[in-house]
Amino acid sequence: MTPTEVIERIVLDPDLSVPEKDERIIAFLAQSVGKGVAAAVQCLSETSDKRVSEFVAAYLEMIPGARPEKKRVAERLRGAGPLAQSAARLVPWLPGSLVDAFIQDYLAAPDPDSPLGSVLLAIGIYYPESLRPHADRIDSPFIRRSLLSGAPDSLADALLGQWQQDRDIDELHSLALIRTRHAADLIESVRDDIDDPEDWEWLMPLAGRLPDSGEDSGFRPSFMGFVADEGESSHVMGGTYPGDVPLCADCRAPAERVLTLSANALPHNLSQDPTFFWFSCDCEEVDRIVVRFNPDGTKVYFGPQGPAGKGSRIIPGKRSMVLETHPNQAGVSLMAIAGRSQHQVGGLPRWPSPELHPICPECGNFMPFLAAIDSGPTPYGPMGFEGLLFGFWCDGCSVSTTQIQE
Ligand SMILES: [Zn+2]
Ligand SMILES: [Zn+2]
């Protein structure tokens, strides 16, 4: 059987649920030659079934690189009617000329519910600059929200003016999501005018600055992260952590390593390799893990610590994280939806709903964001947690904080 026949057979099997189909298609492609890129490309070039193209394009979205293949597939999908929707998954890898061609296709018959609506939304997320000149012809509130990222100062000024009239916190939320220096200056200027001081403390880091120190609330530049084979990158995921780890305060189960970033392989000038941990048990005793990395080992705050366990369930096995430069360096303004396998290192956090940054227990300052790990599928099977993990890093104190949002 050809790859397309194998995949179509899985999709058409009436005894399988959608998650089962997804898992089987991922397993089939992941064990194919070259991580299944050629098989996925062949399938997306041949199929006329939108369900098939959605499953397979979602798989390709989990694989870094393969830029020429993704471009070729997107060109085919562009001319394939309802299948064009699946090209949304490939947008981060498309050249500007093809992005513009999709925008022109959409503007010929603007309708957010058309197959091109999802592609436009992805373009707003990754290339807001390309879509912004056409904003007045786009009705979707989601696409419009994606265009806040990096928006001009005139819009920032208008949002502040509206807030001064209505006092609606949503207007400051939109202003913060612009994430330019000017928008951050405006948020900073309203500190004493906001009714609830805690609102200002989440708006400031959302706009790009820590509320107390005024330092950046993230580490630039921003990368997209992809779960890959062990050794493919020097950023380690899963496996057994070589040192003490946090223990669950309730059942004493050891937490597991989610990610260790290699400082030397990053442009962020980190003085140590940050590690982020998470619990593998379901006790829900703690909503945050805070660890300091000393020369003589780890020190866990607010809970017990002990040796790491064997095996890895949070991350399926011992893997690594491959990074690619994020096309949107300003910071995505559309809220995150957990379960889409969109991991991030550096840049500003993309929250499902914005939160305060944690405070470093050593220096007492707010901590900048460093990484987000999503619970969606991987080529190696599902992650062992739900929602999105957010990792923060105080470089001066070598302290990491990991917290979850579901
Ligand atoms: Zn437990
Ligand atoms: Zn600190």
Torsion angle (degrees, nearest 10) of CA 196, 360, 288, 404: 60
User: Under a CB-based contact definition with an 8 Å cutoff, are residues 121 and 143 in contact?
Assistant: yes
Collect all residues with Cβ–Cβ distance below 8 Å to 308 and sequence separation of at least 6. Answer: 240, 241, 242, 243, 244, 245, 254, 256, 257
Q: Which tokens sit at 126?
A: 């990754």
CA distance 260 to 268: 14
Instruction: Tell me, in angstroms, the distance from the centre of ligand 1 to residue 7's CA.
Output: 39
Instruction: Tell me, in angstroms, the distance from the centre of ligand 1 to residue 308's CA.
Output: 14
Instruction: Tell me, in angstroms, the distance from the centre of ligand 1 to residue 284's CA.
Output: 7
Residues with CB under 5 A from ligand 2 (ion): 360, 362-363, 394, 397
Percent of the chain topping pLDDT 90? 95
pLDDT higher than threshold 90 for residue 406: no
pLDDT at 148: 98
pLDDT at 287: 84
Most distant CA atoms of the chain, gap in Å: 68
What does the pLDDT look like over 281-311, one tens digit per residue? 988 767 899 999 999 999 999 999 999 998 8
Instruction: Tell me, in angstroms, the distance from the centre of ligand 2 to residue 273's CA.
Output: 15
Please give the full DSSP string across 295-311, using - where no structure is assigned. Answer: TTEEEESSS-EEEPPSS
Paired with 19 in beta bridges are none
321, amino acid identity? M
Q: Could you say which ligand is closest to the alpha carbon of residue 250? A: 1
Instruction: Tell me, in angstroms, the distance from the centre of ligand 1 to residue 286's CA.
Output: 9
User: Would you say the pTM of this structure is higher than 0.85?
Assistant: yes
Instruction: Tell me, in angstroms, the distance from the centre of ligand 1 to residue 252's CA.
Output: 6
pLDDT mean over 380-399: 96
What does the pLDDT look like over 204-250, one tens digit per residue? 999 999 999 999 999 999 999 999 999 999 999 999 999 999 999 99
Instruction: Tell me, in angstroms, the distance from the centre of ligand 2 to residue 235's CA.
Output: 23
Instruction: Tell me, in angstroms, the distance from the centre of ligand 1 to residue 230's CA.
Output: 28
Instruction: Tell me, in angstroms, the distance from the centre of ligand 1 to residue 389's CA.
Output: 17
Measured over the CA atoms of residue 61, residue 67, residue 72 and residue 78, the dihedral's sign is: positive
The single-letter DSSP state of residue 90 is G
Q: Could you say which ligand is closest to the alpha carbon of residue 255? A: 1
Q: Could you say which ligand is closest to the alpha carbon of residue 393? A: 2
Q: Which tokens sit at 31?
A: 């064990």
User: Under a CB-based contact definition with an 8 Å cutoff, are residues 251 and 323 in contact?
Assistant: no
pLDDT at 10: 98
pLDDT at 112: 84
Instruction: Tell me, in angstroms, the distance from the centre of ligand 1 to residue 318's CA.
Output: 22
Q: Could you say which ligand is closest to the alpha carbon of residue 247? A: 1
Angle of helix 37-46 versus helix 50-61 axis, rounded to 10: 150
Instruction: Tell me, in angstroms, the distance from the centre of ligand 1 to residue 373's CA.
Output: 21
Q: Could you say which ligand is closest to the alpha carbon of residue 253? A: 1
Paired with 223 in beta bridges are 325, 345
pLDDT higher than threshold 80 for residue 316: yes
Collect all residues with Cβ–Cβ distance below 8 Å to 81 and sequence separation of at least 6. Answer: 115
Q: Which tokens sit at 59?
A: 């798989």
User: Under a CB-based contact definition with an 8 Å cutoff, are residues 73 and 43 in contact?
Assistant: no
Q: What 3-state class would DSSP assign to 160?
A: helix
What does the pLDDT look like over 78-121, one tens digit per residue? 999 999 999 999 999 999 999 999 999 999 998 888 999 999 99
Q: Which tokens sit at 300?
A: 């866990």
Percent of the chain topping pLDDT 70? 100
Instruction: Tell me, in angstroms, the distance from the centre of ligand 2 to residue 202's CA.
Output: 19
